């Protein structure tokens, strides 16, 4: 790990670091713990935020039945899309207020959990969700929030991030704040079994992106470094097994742990240019976030490694990529291996199949430079740099 002679971070020197996580309940069958978690938070009337695809699985009914069996009043909002939009958050708030709820359970992937966070923000603070773009804009404490992720990758169940699609500007806004970390994350690997291989691949590459960006971030710490290195090793070994068989219980548990550690790493170290550039693409073409990350990540690794290849050399070692003779060459080899892994799990190798056109690059570049995730990238790019990376990724 990157240390100097006295054991402090070689890139940041001596500084204070915070590490914030929710209560975590993880293991097969842990969905049964949600009622107990709700009771511990003093909740009586719960809104389940989910989507229509999850409603078609056994998990929605199981959760609702368990909550009712615990004498809790249960209501639901399932109008969340793959990239949650501001009007959906407003609609979720209407359900929350009309039902006089005092807590939320998010059952779904990162989009569902982000939408639930948006509802919680508005329930406590009022206004319009897009007003909270940026850092620490939501000042009042949120109502109790329990997250039960159905994918292994987003990390939203342990993170201080909330990503919402601004359909008018055709971009995603990044909302960050310590108060956005759910109170409890209940991670039941059984829930991964009903995901499609495509969603497993997208989610898994999202987790791997979180590891890499957190480890290279200027806000990294020893705690985030350890979490990121552990997570990337596990995810690298497990993602293809779970893509090949989403019902593989051992692979599911491994990926659930990897996504958890990756989430704990990035919520405390923040992210970088890959996510800053991915958010505008997702807002413009409504493509899956993990697939966009997977395309952009190798290009960002190479760009950052021109300034300092060391983090990527250490990440390469963690996943068994052989030394190539120099730091730059090893970082480039690592980028090649990331791209190859993405192709092996069936994700596109460029942005064009996702709907991005050359004419979009100026708009995408402007939004990427304004994204909060860019502030912790280890190399601050110019507009020309960002446009070039997008062009290479096309």
- The whole-number pLDDT of residue 379 equals 97
Q: How far apart are CA 259 and CA 253, in angstroms?
A: 10
- The whole-number pLDDT of residue 6 equals 28
- The first and second tokens of residue 204, run together, are 């898994």
Write out pLDDT tens, residues 297-334.
Answer: 999 999 999 999 999 999 999 999 999 999 999 999 99
- The whole-number pLDDT of residue 17 equals 80
- The whole-number pLDDT of residue 10 equals 47
- The whole-number pLDDT of residue 71 equals 96
147, 121 in Cβ contact below 8 A? no
Three-state SS at 312: helix
pLDDT band at 393 (very low <50, low <70, confident <90, very high): very high
pLDDT band at 8 (very low <50, low <70, confident <90, very high): very low
pLDDT above 90 covers what percent of the chain? 94
- The whole-number pLDDT of residue 9 equals 40
- The whole-number pLDDT of residue 11 equals 54
Number of other CB atoms surrounding residue 382 within 10 Å: 10
270, 373 in Cβ contact below 8 A? yes
Question: What burial class does residue 75 get, using C-beta atoms within 10 Å of its C-beta: 0-12 exposed, 13-18 middle, 19+ buried?
Answer: middle
- The whole-number pLDDT of residue 18 equals 82
Lowest mean pLDDT among 8-12, 223-227, 342-346, 367-371: 8-12
Write out pLDDT tens, residues 160-214.
Answer: 999 999 999 999 999 999 999 999 999 999 999 999 999 999 999 999 999 999 9
Write out pLDDT tens, residues 129-175.
Answer: 999 999 999 999 999 999 999 999 999 999 999 999 999 999 999 99
pLDDT above 70 covers what percent of the chain? 96
Indicate the average pLDDT of the chain. 95
- The first and second tokens of residue 168, run together, are 């008018």
pLDDT band at 7 (very low <50, low <70, confident <90, very high): very low
Stretch 20-46: mean pLDDT, rounded? 97
Write out pLDDT tens, residues 242-267.
Answer: 999 999 999 999 999 999 999 999 99
Stretch 94-108: mean pLDDT, rounded? 98
What are the structural domains of the chain? Answer: 30-187 (3.40.50.1970), 195-393 (1.20.1090.10)
Stretch 326-345: mean pLDDT, rounded? 98
Q: How far apart are CA 200 and CA 198, in angstroms?
A: 5
- The first and second tokens of residue 385, run together, are 């740099």
């Amino acid at each position: 790990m990157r240390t100097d002679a006295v054991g402090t971070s070689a890139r940041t020197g001596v500084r204070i670091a915070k590490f914030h996580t929710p209560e975590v309940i993880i293991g097969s069958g842990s969905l049964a713990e949600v009622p107990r978690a709700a009771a511990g938070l003093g909740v009586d009337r719960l809104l389940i935020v989910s989507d229509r695809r999850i409603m078609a699985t056994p998990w929605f009914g199981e959760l609702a039945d368990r909550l009712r069996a615990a004498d809790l009043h249960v209501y639901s909002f399932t109008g969340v899309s793959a990239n949650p939009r501001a009007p959906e958050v407003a609609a979720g708030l209407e359900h929350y207020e009309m039902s006089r709820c005092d807590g939320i359970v998010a059952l779904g992937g990162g989009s569902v959990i982000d939408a639930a966070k948006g509802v919680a923000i508005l329930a406590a603070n009022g206004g319009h969700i897009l007003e909270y773009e940026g850092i620490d804009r939501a000042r009042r404490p949120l109502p109790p929030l329990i997250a039960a992720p159905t994918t292994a990758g987003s990390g939203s169940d342990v993170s201080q991030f909330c990503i919402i699609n601004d359909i008018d500007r055709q971009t995603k806004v990044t909302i960050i704040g310590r108060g956005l970390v759910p109170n409890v994350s209940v991670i039941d690997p059984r829930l991964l079994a009903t995901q499609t291989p495509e969603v497993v691949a997208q989610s898994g590459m999202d987790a791997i992106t979180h590891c890499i960006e957190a480890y290279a971030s200027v806000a990294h710490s020893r705690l985030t470094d350890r979490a990121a290195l552990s997570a990337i090793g596990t995810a690298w070994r497990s993602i293809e097994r779970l893509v090949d068989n989403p019902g593989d219980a051992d692979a599911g548990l491994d990926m659930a742990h990897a996504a958890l550690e990756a989430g704990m790493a990035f919520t405390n170290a923040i992210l970088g240019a890959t996510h800053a550039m991915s958010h505008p693409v997702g807002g413009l073409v409504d493509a899956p976030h993990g697939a966009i990350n997977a395309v952009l990540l190798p290009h960002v690794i190479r760009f950052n490694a021109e300034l300092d290849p060391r983090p990527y050399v250490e990440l390469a070692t963690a996943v068994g990529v052989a030394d190539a003779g120099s730091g730059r060459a090893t970082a480039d080899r690592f980028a090649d291996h990331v791209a190859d892994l993405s192709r092996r799990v069936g994700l596109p190798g460029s942005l064009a199949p996702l709907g991005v056109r050359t004419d979009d690059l100026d708009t995408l570049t402007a939004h990427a430079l304004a994204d909060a995730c860019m502030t912790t990238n280890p190399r601050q790019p110019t507009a020309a740099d960002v446009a070039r990376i997008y062009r290479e990724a096309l």
